[in-house]
Amino acid sequence: MKNLSNWSLILGKKGLMRVSNLLANTYIKEGKNITADKVNKVLAFSDIKITQNMLDKILSRPRIKFSNLDSDTIRSPKFLESIGTIRGKLQVPGVYIWRHLSSNDMYVGSSSMLARRLIGYFNNTHKNTGKLIPLIKKEGISAFNLEVIPLTEDYVINQELSLEQYFLLHSKFNLNVIKVVNDFSGARSKPLYMYTKDFAELIYSSHIQEDFIFKLRIHHTIFTKSLNTGAIYLGKYVFTDKPVIGAKESNMSEEEINILLDKDKLEENNIKGISRKILIKNINNNEVKSFDSISSCLVYLNSIAPSNKSTLYRYIKSQKPYNGFICQWQSEPISLVKDKAIEVNVTNILNGDTVNYTSFRKAALSFAPENITTGSTLKALAEKGELFKGKYKITIISKDNK
């Protein structure tokens, strides 16, 4: 296994995993001391490694033990302080060990998000597979004790998998059906890499895409779009599902990466804010004025009434009149006026009948079910002076001008 690239070409991934399973079963049957070297050989197909020094250091740490388990365990101060919650800002990686009280049978698992995984056991949301889950469903969570090894100190990506594999090579973990960590063969096996846009530096990577969502707070639609189209994130980063040979690897921690991304997001928002022009329309006379920035717009609005930036942003979003104006970004079509500031007359030109409505939406609903239309369609026809269905004239009347 020393030349992994050659073995990869000869055996392929599935072949390498078969070799890993043979090695794992051999080490378990031997019953000898499990070393970091043996763990690394079993995980050779995944290119995950751990040093003997780090393995010894982790194994010597105190473990968090939970007994007398029930549904309240996951809400206890001890659990919340050491493991956290599913939606917590910081997700704790680590390894967990279940011990069946009556038989002393054991199960080991790991997760980069311990809270999410463990709470699933207590809430019975995991699939009913293997030996452990059916036993929990049959006898209840109270039939077990739980030990947890959080990996918050000196943590590196996928360290929990190396530690889980160490325990799996011991025969006492007889509730585990699979003896090689299977995060890479299951549905969660979705490697993802984030590089600078020139592919010169690898910023972050994980064999589990969920790490980008929960640890870096990057929405899945962002990296999915980048994977499909090559779109650049924040003007600086791209995502791939394969490693780029020759790229420099960043030594930043997850905390440092989050700080960097927060700074990049702020810079991008500032750039957008400076470059976007603003249109404002007087709701009384429909006069439109254009401003190069939100600051210059505020200077004008303050000459009419006290105004401020945060309030203006809210009114741009809500499209409510602000100091007598409808305010919008120039890139968006500006409304004639808000519906509640106008009345809509619908006149049948064949017989002269006119009906008054208080909004375009209500006018549109009056044509259903024979003729289906929308308020925006009627508004467009009114602005163009065109007839709806060749016989209905739509007229906008400002309430202030009545």
pLDDT digits 0-9 by tens, 154-206: 888 889 999 999 999 999 999 999 999 864 433 345 778 999 999 999 999 88
Tokens linked to 308: 């401020």
Within a 10 A sphere around the Cβ of 239, how many other Cβ atoms?
A: 24
- The per-residue pLDDT for range 274-285, each reduced to its tens digit, is 456 788 888 877
Residue 395 tokens, joined: 């007229």
- In terms of CATH, what superfamily is 51-168? GIY-YIG endonuclease (3.40.1440.10)
SS3 382: helix
Predicted confidence at residue 312, as pLDDT, reads 84
Binned at pLDDT 50, 70 and 90, residue 401 comes out as very low
The residue ranking higher by pLDDT, 15 or 26, is: 26
Q: What is the mean pLDDT of residues 378-393?
A: 81
Taking every pair of Cα atoms in the chain, the longest distance, rounded to a whole number of angstroms, is: 98
Task: Please give the Cα distance from 358 to 374 (Å, whole number).
Answer: 14
pLDDT digits (tens, 9 = 90+) for 222-240: 898 888 888 899 989 999 9
User: What percent of the chain lies above the pLDDT cut of 90?
Assistant: 35
